[in-house]
């Protein structure tokens, strides 16, 4: 059974991303029904749990934040226009973030 070490939201660095809207194309709509969870698996490390929490997790969160600065669509949300004639779009607004869970088995 897994035990959660930390659950947090990681956003692009302050001032690093501007609000943007990207329209989805017809080909993008096919993927909307698929599950959006992405997993990264790590293997056993020869360090203790406190060392992992203090020395590994903060750089991973910082690295993800800097990556989101350049790949904002990973932090965007799918939004539907108010009128029914428009296609859904990807929309990033300041404060959007990615959910990250660190756990151990």
pLDDT-derived band at 52, boundaries 50, 70, 90: confident
The pTM score is: 0.75
**Structural domain that includes position 92:** 3-104
What percent of the chain is modeled with pLDDT above 70? 88
Cβ count near 60 (within 10 Å): 14
**What's the pLDDT at 26?**
78
Section 26-36 average pLDDT: 73
Count of domains for the chain: 1
pLDDT at 1 over 70: no
CATH code of the domain covering residue 60 = 3.30.559.10
Section 18-22 average pLDDT: 81
């Amino acid at each position: 059974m897994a035990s959660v070490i930390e659950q947090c939201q990681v956003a692009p660095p302050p001032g690093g991303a501007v609000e943007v809207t990207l329209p989805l194309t017809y080909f993008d709509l096919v993927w909307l029904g698929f599950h959006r969870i992405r997993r990264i698996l790590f293997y056993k490390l020869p360090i203790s749990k406190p060392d992992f929490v203090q020395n590994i997790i903060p750089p991973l969160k910082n690295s993800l934040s800097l990556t989101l600065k350049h790949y904002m669509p990973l932090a965007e949300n799918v939004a539907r226009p108010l009128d029914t004639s428009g296609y859904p779009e990807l929309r990033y607004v300041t404060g959007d973030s990615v959910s990250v869970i660190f756990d151990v088995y």
